[in-house]
Structure 1
Amino acid sequence: MEFKRLHPYRFEIFFVSQMFILFGSIIATGDWYETVLFPITFIVNISAGLILMSRHRIKFLGFVGLLFLSGLLFVCKLTTSGYDDEITIFRTVINFLFYVFVTIEIIKQVWDSQRISSNIIFGLISGYVSIGLIGYFFFISIELTVPGSFLGNQEAFMLRENLNDSFMYFSYITLLSIGYGDISPVSPFAQKVTILIGLLGQMYNVIITAIVVGKYINQLKK
C-alpha cells in the first residue's frame, strides 16, 4: 500500500499540509479561498493523516470514514446557496474529531520513539500545531451554536463575516500565551474552553517537548 511506503515521512508530510492550512490565505485571498480552497486544505490534511494511521487497520479505516464525510460535506456546502450553519457545524465537528484523534496518535508515536530524528521533531511540532487546530474548531463551534460567545474589536474583526481567520488567529494567540485582547471570550463556557486550550499548550511544552529533549540528550551521550 502506498500509504505504508510513505510512513517513514509521515510527520514531514503532515506538517507541510498543516502549513497550507495556516498560511494558505497569504497566497490566495478572497471569497474563493474561503469557500473552496480553505476547506480543501483540511481534506488534504486528513489525507495526510491516513499516512500516520497506515500501520493500524482500524484507525486507518476510521480516518477513511472521516475523509469521506469531510469531502461529502464540502460538496454539500458548494451546492448549498447562502450560509448554511448546519453543514458548517457538522463539518466542524468532523474536523474537530479528526484533530483530537490525530493529536493523540502523534503524541503516542512521539512518546514511543526510541530514536530522535528529524521526522520525530516534525511530529513534535505537528502535535503542537494540531492542538491549535483543535482550539480553532472548538471556538468556531461555540460561536456558531451560541452566537455572541466571543466579542471582537469591531475595527479589526467582524467575527460573523470572518469566522475562519478570526478564530484561527484567536486559537493560536491563546495557545502561544500572547493574548492581545482583540478577541475575547465572554460566555462562561467559551472562557473555560479558552483556559483549556492554553493549558493544553503549556502541558504539551512542559511534558512532551521535555521528554523528546531528554531522549535526544541521552541519544547524544550514547
Structure 2
Amino acid sequence: MFLITLFAILFGSLFVPNIWFENWVSPILLISNLAIGVVLVSKKRFLYIVLLVLLILTFLIQVRDAFTETLNTSLSLLKLACYFLFYAIVSLEIIKQVAKAKSIKSNVILGLISGYISLGLLAFFMFLTIEIIEPNSFSGLVLEVDANLNLKEQLLYFSYVTLLTIGYGEIVPVSELAQKGAILVALIGQFYLVILTAIVVGKYINQQSE
C-alpha cells in the first residue's frame, strides 16, 4: 500500500484534472501515505510516536488549508517540515531494513523502490521550502494561471530529474542554497543506487549460491 500511494502521488495528476488533484486528491494521498508509514513502524515505539505526531500536525494543517483561502506561510513551512521529516525517517528505515535483510525477497525489492521514490519526495519538499523562503531560487519555472500549482508540479519534476541525475537543464537552481540542495540530492541519489544496489545484488548472489 505504501508503494501504491507513492505512485498515485507521482502520477495521479495524469488521470485527475490538475486543480482537483492538487487541492483534494494529492493531500489525501499524502496523508494516507503518512498513515501507512506510521503503521509500518508501529513496532518501534519512538519512531511510531514521532511519525504519529507528524501525521496529526500535517492533518490539522491540511484541514485548515482546505477550509481557508488565506495562505499562512508559517503553517505552510511547518507542513513542509513535517513531510520532510517523515520521508527522511522512512527513507532511513527502509535503507536499514534493506541493509539488514538476510535474504532477498519481493518485499526487499519493493522496499528498495519505495525508498528511492521517498527520496524524490524528500527532495521535492526541500526545494519547495527553498523556493518559499528564497523566491526565484530556480530559473526556468513557467508559472501560468495557477502559479502555486505549476510551481509544485515543476519542482516535483525537477526533484526527480536531479535525483536521477538526468539534468535536462530547463530548470536551473540559481541561488546558492538551491544549488547546494541540488548537489546533495544528486549525491544521495547516486549513493543510494550504487551502495544499496551493490548490497542487494551481493546478497542475492550469495543466496543463489547457498
Classify the TM-score, shorter chain. over 0.9
CA deviation vs aligned residue, 1:50-78 (integer Å, no higher than 9, x gap): 23202112211221111111110101111
Q: Which runs of 4+ in 1 moved over 3 A?
A: 153-161
Contact 2:22 / 2:149 at 8 angstroms: preserved in 1?
no
Match of 1:80 in 2: 68
Give the Å deviation of 1:155: 8.3
Q: Distance in 2 between matches of 1:158 and 1:181?
A: 23
Structure 2, unaligned runs of 5 or more = none
Q: 1:84-95, aligned counterparts within 5 Å? A: 84-95=72-83
Q: Distance in 1 between matches of 2:93 and 2:75?
A: 27
Q: Distance in 2 between matches of 1:162 and 1:62?
A: 32
- 1:157 to 1:136, Cα distance in 2 relative to 1, 3 A: farther
Structure 1, unaligned runs of 5 or more = 1-12
- 1:49 to 1:153, Cα distance in 2 relative to 1, 3 A: closer
Match of 1:8 in 2: none
Q: Distance in 1 between matches of 2:81 and 2:93?
A: 18
Alignment of 1:204 with 2:195, yes or no, is: no
CA deviation vs aligned residue, 1:113-166 (integer Å, no higher than 9, x gap): 111100000001111111111100000000011101111154899865512211
- Relative to structure 2, which stretch is displaced further, 162-171 or 132-141? 162-171
- 1:74 to 1:136, Cα distance in 2 relative to 1, 3 A: same
Code of the aligned partner of 2:85 = L
Code of the aligned partner of 2:197 = T
Identity %: 44
- 1:192 to 1:70, Cα distance in 2 relative to 1, 3 A: same
Q: Distance in 1 between matches of 2:138 and 2:46?
A: 38
Q: Distance in 2 between matches of 1:164 and 1:155?
A: 10
Q: Distance in 1 between matches of 2:146 and 2:201?
A: 41
CA deviation vs aligned residue, 1:173-203 (integer Å, no higher than 9, x gap): 0011111111110001100100100000000
Code of the aligned partner of 1:68 = I
Match of 1:193 in 2: 181
Q: 1:181 aligns with which of 169, 173, 183?
A: 169
Match of 1:97 in 2: 85
Alignment of 1:146 with 2:125, yes or no, is: no
SS of 1:162's equivalent in the other structure is helix
Count of residues paired in the alignment: 210
Contact 2:142 / 2:150 at 8 angstroms: preserved in 1?
no
Alignment of 1:69 with 2:88, yes or no, is: no
Match of 1:7 in 2: none
Contact 2:38 / 2:48 at 8 angstroms: preserved in 1?
yes
TM-score when normalising by structure 1: 0.89
- 1:151 to 1:159, Cα distance in 2 relative to 1, 3 A: farther
Code of the aligned partner of 2:124 = Y
Code of the aligned partner of 2:195 = I
Alignment of 1:58 with 2:69, yes or no, is: no
Code of the aligned partner of 1:18 = L
Q: Distance in 2 between matches of 1:86 and 1:169?
A: 25
Match of 1:133 in 2: 121
Give the Å deviation of 1:41: 1.1
Code of the aligned partner of 1:79 = F
SS of 2:127's equivalent in the other structure is helix
